[in-house]
A = this chain, B = another copy of it.
Amino acid sequence: MNGAERLIRTLVASGVDTCFANPGTSEIHIVAALDRTPEMRCVLGLFEGVVTAAADGYARLSEKPACTLLHLGPGLANGLANLHNARRAHVPIINIVGQHALSHLHYDAPLTSDIEGVARPFSHWVKTCASVGEVASDAVAAVVAARIAPGEIATLIVPADVAWADVAWTDTGESPAPPLLLPHAPLPSEQAVDRSAMMLRSGLPSAILLDGNALYGEGLAIAGRIATATKATLLAPYPITRLERGAGLPAVARINYVLEQAREQLKGFRQLILVGAQAPVAYFAYPGKDSVFTASDCEIHALAAPGEDYVGALRALESAVAARNVAAETEKAARPNLPQGGISLPGLAAVVGALLPEDAIVVDESMTSGRGMMAATRGAPPHDWLGNTGGSIGIAMPLAVGAAVAAPGRRVLCLTADGSGMYTLQALWTMAREGLNVTTVVFSNRDYAVLKREFSYLGIGDPGPRARDMFEIGRPDLDWVQLGKGMGVPSRRVDSLGAFAKALRNGLQAEGPTLIEVPL
């Protein structure tokens, strides 16, 4: 056995069974090891930003890390923007990055770069494996690092001569892999719980801002009972990692993106309790405007800080406010009627609301075009909503890849703006190769519309022709039907709400991926 095979077998033994990959020459021995290890599913991406976002989507659904396989510094670099988003999503990912043979490094060959330096800004843990004897312990350390709650980015750099060196599977003959001692998220202090309970009993207008696994499953159920018992409002951050919602589930309001709207939404709250979330602030600063969303007299208190046990914290708070036997108020089942007529944003949202299937996964990077989608689907059958967490656009299609790989029995609806979609359109090919049940809707407004809006927002007049050239992505128009078909995804364009409904229904029942372009 060589170091590469020991690496892969140790990852498998540590519960990592999916690898999103775009390897190169320096990773050939690792590819050969994957060839001999059918327990690890391999999914190829044709660009590394697809690979890292797919690992993110996988982790959001499966609550465990996938690994990536990336080619040296530049391959890792191509994956960084979506690692930024994954880092902000607080999900676990293990990056395996090849490195030149240690004996080759001093030649400064063309592909040499400071890989640790490339990794560090978007990784919580970075290590270069120094020898084949350390491969197994380094792999386990990477898994442990990634699984520090709520989830971290671990990057293990593997030199080619470490990968190709011979090594015994076990050094001692005792165990096939070093023990995996996973870290547990600590509970918050009693004081933090008591203070939260006191705030909720005060009768002052209060909200609870949830994040991580407080936004789905048991965490959300408990939060719903607390909210009902104390008349608190449940909130989610605008950057949503994963939110379970729909008929029969507690209502959680997403904080608005636009500064004025968010301030209006939050101005009435005198108390805000954070569960894993940061205090809500604007994405960007504006001249003369405050970045903070909450009112100046709003008390902000963390029930659970990032990395603490959110579900445990909510359970303790539930006891403290005696909410355990409360029947939580939930969303009523309600769908919009299927609208007809010409394309409009409210009409498109209504179609999605009318047709979204039970247990769907919605991946939403629809930007300015999709602002009505959440309202139209609040009473739809239960589903998960996944958003862009770090603000680096170009996540939706590869995130949908990873979600579909993690949850093969579920339907994925991927809503993407055209500008965002262009950053990682190679994800369509992976959907086709893997036969993933993803329906991608591309909102073609042929604009970086958010930038146009921001320009106006700054009060510096209308954009002139040169600024418009940087905001408008038409001239020529992108043809998403050809782009989708070019990558093997059946694709069509719709010009009415009726056609959209038909295409969406077909897509959500099809075997494998489809794409629908909606010109706006």
Binding site for B on A (CB under 8 A): 21, 23-26, 28-29, 31-32, 34-36, 38, 42, 44, 46-47, 49, 72-75, 77-78, 80-81, 84-85, 88, 100-101, 103-104, 107-111, 113-114, 117-118, 120-122, 160-161, 164, 239, 278, 281-285, 287, 291-292, 389-392, 394, 419, 422-423, 425-426, 429, 432-433, 450-451, 454-455, 458, 460, 463-467, 469-471, 473, 475-483, 485-488
CB contacts (< 8 Å) of A29 on chain B: these are 458, 460
CA distance A21 to B468 in the complex (A): 13
20 pairs, A vs B, C-beta closer than 8 Å:
A25-B450, A28-B455, A32-B463, A35-B463, A35-B466, A47-B422, A72-B392, A77-B77, A77-B81, A77-B84, A78-B80, A78-B394, A80-B118, A104-B284, A108-B278, A109-B391, A111-B284, A114-B121, A164-B287, A429-B473
Interface pair B390/A74, CB less than 8 Å apart: yes
Q: Report the minimal beta-carbon distance from A191 to chain B, rounded to whole angstroms.
A: 25
Q: Chain B contacts of A287 at CB under 8 A? A: 161, 164
Residue of A85, A161, A478 ringed by the most chain B CB atoms within 10 A: A478
Q: Which residues of B contact A103 (CB under 8 A)?
A: 285, 291
Contact flag A486-B480 (CB < 8 Å), given A42-B466, A455-B28, A458-B28: yes
Closest chain B residue, CB of each to CB of A283: B109
Q: Which residues of B contact A390 (CB under 8 A)?
A: 74, 110-111
A515 to chain B, nearest CB (A): 11
- Are B467 and A478 closer than 8 Å at their CB atoms? no
- In angstroms, Cα B30 to Cα A466, docked, is 12
Give the distance to chain B from A42, nearest Cβ to Cβ, in Å.
Answer: 6
**Inter-chain contact A42/B109, CB cutoff 8 Å:** no
Which one of B120, B164, B479 contacts A486 once the chains associate, using CB atoms below 8 Å?
B479
Contacts of A470 in B (CB 8 A): 21, 23, 31, 34, 42, 44
Q: Name the B residues within 8 Å of A425 (CB-CB).
A: 425-426
Number of copies: 2
Determine how close the nearest CB of chain B comes to the CB of A77; give it in whole angstroms: 4
Residues of chain B lying within 8 A (CB to CB) of residue A475: 433
* Chain B nearest Cβ from A21, distance in angstroms: 6
Whether the pair A454, B120 counts as a contact (CB closer than 8 A) is: no
Residue on B with the closest CB to A239? Answer: B110
B284 near A109: Cβ-Cβ < 8 Å: yes
Shortest Cβ distance from residue A387 to the other chain B in the assembled complex, whole angstroms: 10
The 6 closest A-B pairs by CB, nearest first: A476-B488, A74-B392, A482-B486, A104-B285, A101-B285, A77-B80
